[in-house]
Amino acid sequence: MSPHTGEAIRVLTVDDDPALLDTISLYLENIGGFEVSSTGSPGDALNRLETEYFDICISDYDMPEMNGVQLLGRIRREGNPVPYILITGSFSDGLERRARGAGASDVLQKSGVSVKFYTDLIAAVRGAVERFRGGGVSGMAECCSGVRV
């Protein structure tokens, strides 16, 4: 799986709420100018991350199959350093610490989803991808090997 050669940032979004998944995708594509692929299943996300190239993964926290921090742990244990943004309706300092400790680039609260949330999400995507492409994730390989969730 090699990096995408196009100009657009390739985003994988994961959320079990189809309406929110569609809305996030629309904003990211139409306002952010990103190429977006979406799935409602963390298991499908893992499969797609193995077979397709994405510049970043955005995932909900609260999903039935596994939560977003567990998904991130699996991604890192498989050795994938893809930048990762966790979105949650139940934001807490403890959740943010766990997510960042597992390697999340950012954690955003989605309750009361508004234009500000989408603006913040687009900025977080751009920032995380720029840092990753610029080598700002030195030590990610070490991070990936020892993640416990």
Note the pLDDT tens digit of each residue in 47-78.
999 999 999 999 999 999 999 999 999 999 99
The DSSP call for residue 9 is: P
Average pLDDT, the chain: 87
141 near 119, Cβ under 8 Å? no
Kindly report the pTM of this predicted structure: 0.86
107 near 88, Cβ under 8 Å? yes
What is the per-residue pLDDT for 37?
Answer: 98
Where do the domains of the chain lie, and which CATH numbers do they carry? 10-145 (3.40.50.2300)
Angstrom distance (rounded) from CA 19 to CA 146 = 35
By the 10 Å C-beta count (0-12 exposed, 13-18 middle, 19+ buried), 14 is classed as buried
Q: How, if at all, do strands 35-39 and 10-14 pair?
A: parallel
pLDDT in tens, 14-58: 999 999 999 999 999 999 999 999 999 999 999 999 999 999 999
pLDDT in tens, 90-128: 878 889 999 999 999 999 998 677 899 999 999 999 999
Banded pLDDT at 7 (limits 50, 70, 90): confident
